[in-house]
Chain A
Amino acid sequence: MLWAVVAAVLSAVTANVLRLRADVSFAGPFVAAQALEIGAGAVLIVVGGVAGRGWERWLLPAAGAGWLIAEWASPASPGPAAFTLGLIAVLAAFPLVLASRWRRPGLAPGPAVLLALAVLLALAGAVIGGPLAAAAAGPRDYGCSDCPRDLVALAHDGTLNALLVRLGWQFAIAAGLIAAAWLAASLVRAQRRRTLVPSPDLAADVAAAAFAAAVAAGAVVALRGEVASPIAYGWRAVADGMLLILSAVVALPALRAARARRMVARAAVAMADDPAGDAAGALAAALDDPALSVAYPAPNGAWRHHSGQRVVLPERNVTMVTDADEIVAALIHGGSARIDHASVTGAVSAARLLLDIERLEAGALARVNDLRAARQLVVEAADAARASLERDLHDGAQQRLVALRYALGLAGARAIRRSEPVLAARLADADLAAEQALADLRELAHGISAATLAVEGLAGAIRSAAEYSPGAVTIVELLDERLPERVEQAVYRFIVDTLREIARVPASGASIAVQRAGRDVIVEIECDRPMTVRSRPADHLGDRVAAVGGQLEQTDHHGRHRLIARLPCE
């Protein structure tokens, strides 16, 4: 805002001066050239002040101001002060524009020396042709009768003034030549090192050097005494164009940062309606880097994603986001994309709060993940224990009882053959007891583990479980496809355990439906009597479902009591 006001005031004064005395202006009599000159100065002031980084923030507005104020050394100037300023600033923009390139990242030592030399020469030219010349004599001293007074004129030596002005131009020419050498040197060097890539910095270098060359060319024309010639106006216009290009290059990253900031802010608002959205997604879209991910610091120097999942930071392509020396997050950029720091800065500034929230969430989710993993382990250990118990029963007690029945049957047959009816009857009693024991054991062993599950899959195993269930079980729908083992186990155990719960309620019946819904399996068990889901065994049912990342829901509507388990299938 401040810069816009400054630019507007300076432009208005300059426009008025040009309107009154275009004949002595640098821009010349053409309105288009005048507009170009005023526009170039004003844009440089605003863009430099708003989007400039570091020194640019002051150098570029100063250069823009100097560019405009130089026109005030005119009889049409609003007063002696403005007139004197114009005399002093006649070449001021030149060293300032070159100096603004000094902070360019990646400035190599060789070109840096040339650039420094160019800046020094331009500065010398600006001082000699500006303040020193103004001190030697004012325009009134060399024949400009309607010019305002030169406030800094110490002497009235017109010859000295002319000498200093010429010297200033010569320095400017030298500075222009050295600036061209600087650009050539840095291009050659980059070409040799294969680091020559089109970039905003390179474009700014080219614009600055071309500006210097145009000013130098203008100085050459002036030295030949053709200050007010179409050639001089032409070079001035070229210099204007270069200033505009420089402004555009400086503004570009700021515009991109603003765009990134806007996109992230919009995504953050949209996240209220999209539970799946997160900072990584918003930043990836804003920075045109689909592979971008965000990591948050975890204890012991580890990193994790928003989901709580662990992640290892790569060596390169990482941007740390810090807040008062504390690391908030790390952006992991996609390998191929070139990182545009301006956009990253803009996007991160908009995502700061989001990143803070997700860092806290990541901690909580990591703990949840740990608990889930622990629960999974507990369930798996319990399943393994069941399987081993079932095997022990099958291979041990059951087989021995069968062998016992074989032996009793054999003894009974022999007793009958030897006509010993009393013994035969006793043996038959013993066999009956063994049969009962075996039946009880079978009942116990069944449901402990699902040997049929591995072979038959869910459909067969559930059918078998339903046949064995003491209550009435109706099968509405089953899945014939095979699912991952742990999902089959979870679904099967869930159904068997639920049927056992239902069997506790007298005279109850149940129906089972297993369906596929996208990536999920949905198990629906409906019972005609209320199920006590808040009891401990039901917690166990919920645990079993949750252990594979599923959800258990209970509904009681119009006498229909339903348990609905939704289990992810991946």
Chain B
Amino acid sequence: MRVVIVDDQVLLREGLARLLAEAGMDVVASAGDIDGFLRAVETSRPDVAIIDIRLPPTFTDEGLRAADLLRTRHPGTAVLVLSQYLNAGYAFRLLESFPSGVGYLLKDRVSQVAVLIDAVERVVAGECVVDPSIVTRLVSRTQLAEPLSVLTSRERDVLGLMAEGRTNVAIGQRLFLSEKTVEGNVRRIFDKLGLADTSEDNRRVLAVLAFLRA
């Protein structure tokens, strides 16, 4: 797996590179800003780019713009955007422009090699990855208590995993359920919440997130 890292902090670039190497991945290039990143992508053609959202010059949302530029030029390259501070709006923006092969995670979420491998493999496989803490925060909001009360606790678990971008198979594995059971749950959730059913996994992430954010 060929990986390019963009982060303006050398310490983190190095740390992440070592973790990726430990996970058996091949860090083919790293950069500290958008220009360096785009050059690195042109020369090394990675499978996935791991991008810090705060980059020079303004240290606000340059990472999202870097992701946009990358996906416009190389639609096949997966993107994992890391951030110190999660913003549901950013996750939404990212998924809206590219509904597959993108992920938005807390920066230190990937310090566990297993988590890192899982996230990278999922985005490379074209899935979406949304940080669980975004989902937890959205779901725990008081104004969602009433609309969500129509769901069983099992259905609520399924809803959360859907929002994180998991596939039915992955949800089944997590909750020790058969794929058929998960499918039934998903259908009931969509019925109860009045959401338009989308069979496509990535589209449904957006639909669920939109519901949770409203």
Known: A455-B61, A474-B143. A445 touches B112 (CB 8 A): no
User: What CA separation (Å) do A398 and B60 show in the bound complex?
Assistant: 16
**CB proximity of B6 to chain A, nearest CB, Å:** 15
- The one of B87, B111, B137, B143 that contacts A408, using a Cβ cutoff of 8 Å: B111
Question: Contact between B22 and A410 (Cβ–Cβ < 8 Å)?
Answer: yes
Residue numbers in A under 8 Å from B59 (CB-CB) = 391, 451
Residue numbers in A under 8 Å from B18 (CB-CB) = 406, 410
Among B8-16, B159-167, B169-177, which stretch is in contact with chain A?
Answer: B8-16
Q: Which residues of chain A in 360-418 are interfacial with respect to chain B, using CB atoms and an 8 Å cutoff?
A: 391, 394-395, 398-403, 405-410, 412-414
Question: Contact between B85 and A445 (Cβ–Cβ < 8 Å)?
Answer: yes
- The one of A395, A413, A467, A472 that contacts B113, using a Cβ cutoff of 8 Å: A413
User: What CA separation (Å) do A394 and B53 show in the bound complex?
Assistant: 12
Which of A401, A413, A474 has the most chain B CB atoms inside 10 A of its CB?
Answer: A413
**CB proximity of B92 to chain A, nearest CB, Å:** 10
- The one of A399, A431, A445, A463 that contacts B12, using a Cβ cutoff of 8 Å: A399
Residue numbers in A under 8 Å from B89 (CB-CB) = 452, 456, 460, 463-464
Chain A's interface size range is 35 or more
Q: Does B108 contact A (CB under 8 A)?
A: yes
Q: Does B38 contact A (CB under 8 A)?
A: no
Q: Does B28 contact A (CB under 8 A)?
A: no
User: Digit string of A460-473 for contact with B (CB within 8 Å is 1, else 0)?
Assistant: 10011001100111
**CB proximity of B105 to chain A, nearest CB, Å:** 12
Q: Which residues of chain B in 10-43 are interfacial with respect to chain A, using CB atoms and an 8 Å cutoff?
A: 11-12, 15-16, 18-19, 22-23
Residue numbers in A under 8 Å from B143 (CB-CB) = 472-474
User: What CA separation (Å) do A413 and B116 show in the bound complex?
Assistant: 12
**Once A and B bind, how many residue pairs between them come within 8 Å at the CB atom?**
92
Known: A452-B87, A463-B89, A467-B88. A410 touches B141 (CB 8 A): no
**CB proximity of B52 to chain A, nearest CB, Å:** 10
Known: A400-B11, A467-B138. A406 touches B111 (CB 8 A): yes
User: Digit string of A421-460 for contact with B (CB within 8 Å is 1, else 0)?
Assistant: 0000000000100010010001001100001101110001
Q: Does B204 contact A (CB under 8 A)?
A: no
Question: Contact between B84 and A398 (Cβ–Cβ < 8 Å)?
Answer: yes
Question: Contact between A454 and B58 (Cβ–Cβ < 8 Å)?
Answer: yes
Q: Does A568 contact B (CB under 8 A)?
A: no
Residue numbers in B under 8 Å from A408 (CB-CB) = 111
- The one of B19, B54, B88, B213 that contacts A410, using a Cβ cutoff of 8 Å: B19
Known: A409-B111, A414-B22, A435-B108. A403 touches B84 (CB 8 A): no
Chain A residue at minimum C-beta to C-beta distance from B116? A409
SS of A interface (majority): helix
- The one of A399, A413, A451, A468 that contacts B60, using a Cβ cutoff of 8 Å: A451
Chain B's interface size range is 20 to 34
Residue numbers in A under 8 Å from B12 (CB-CB) = 399, 402-403, 406
Chain B residue at minimum C-beta to C-beta distance from A417? B22
Chain B residue at minimum C-beta to C-beta distance from A475? B143
Question: Contact between B15 and A472 (Cβ–Cβ < 8 Å)?
Answer: no
Residue numbers in B under 8 Å from A253 (CB-CB) = none
Q: Does B149 contact A (CB under 8 A)?
A: no
Chain B residue at minimum C-beta to C-beta distance from A398? B84
Question: Contact between A403 and B15 (Cβ–Cβ < 8 Å)?
Answer: yes
Chain A residue at minimum C-beta to C-beta distance from B58? A454
Residue numbers in A under 8 Å from B141 (CB-CB) = 467, 472-473
Question: Contact between B112 and A409 (Cβ–Cβ < 8 Å)?
Answer: yes
**CB proximity of A462 to chain B, nearest CB, Å:** 10
Known: A399-B11, A405-B108, A406-B111. A454 touches B60 (CB 8 A): yes
User: What CA separation (Å) do A454 and B61 show in the bound complex?
Assistant: 10
Question: Contact between B9 and A464 (Cβ–Cβ < 8 Å)?
Answer: no
Chain A residue at minimum C-beta to C-beta distance from B112? A409
Question: Contact between B22 and A464 (Cβ–Cβ < 8 Å)?
Answer: no
User: What CA separation (Å) do A405 and B84 show in the bound complex?
Assistant: 13
Q: Does B153 contact A (CB under 8 A)?
A: no
User: What CA separation (Å) do A414 and B21 show in the bound complex?
Assistant: 11
Q: Does A509 contact B (CB under 8 A)?
A: yes
**CB proximity of A354 to chain B, nearest CB, Å:** 52
Chain B residue at minimum C-beta to C-beta distance from A459? B89
Chain A residue at minimum C-beta to C-beta distance from B87? A464
Q: Which residues of chain B in 119-164 are interfacial with respect to chain A, using CB atoms and an 8 Å cutoff?
A: 137-138, 141-143
Q: Does B107 contact A (CB under 8 A)?
A: yes
**CB proximity of A279 to chain B, nearest CB, Å:** 49
Chain A residue at minimum C-beta to C-beta distance from B88? A467
- The one of A407, A464, A509 that contacts B15, using a Cβ cutoff of 8 Å: A407
**CB proximity of B151 to chain A, nearest CB, Å:** 19
- The one of B54, B85, B108 that contacts A401, using a Cβ cutoff of 8 Å: B108
Question: Contact between B15 and A413 (Cβ–Cβ < 8 Å)?
Answer: no
Residue numbers in A under 8 Å from B138 (CB-CB) = 467
User: Digit string of A464-489 for contact with B (CB within 8 Å is 1, else 0)?
Assistant: 10011001111000000000000000
**CB proximity of B61 to chain A, nearest CB, Å:** 5
Extra pairs beyond A405-B108, A406-B108 (15, CB < 8 Å): A391-B59, A395-B9, A400-B11, A402-B107, A405-B111, A406-B18, A407-B15, A409-B111, A431-B112, A442-B84, A451-B59, A454-B60, A467-B141, A474-B143, A509-B142
A-B contact pairs, 25 of them (CB 8 A): A399-B11, A399-B12, A399-B84, A402-B111, A403-B11, A406-B12, A406-B18, A406-B111, A409-B111, A410-B15, A410-B18, A413-B19, A413-B113, A435-B108, A442-B85, A451-B59, A451-B60, A452-B87, A452-B89, A454-B60, A456-B87, A456-B89, A463-B213, A464-B87, A473-B141
The 4 closest A-B pairs by CB, nearest first: A472-B142, A406-B15, A409-B111, A405-B111
Q: Which residues of chain B have a CB within 8 Å of any CB of chain A?
A: 9, 11-12, 15-16, 18-19, 22-23, 54, 58-61, 84-85, 87-89, 107-108, 111-113, 116, 137-138, 141-143, 213
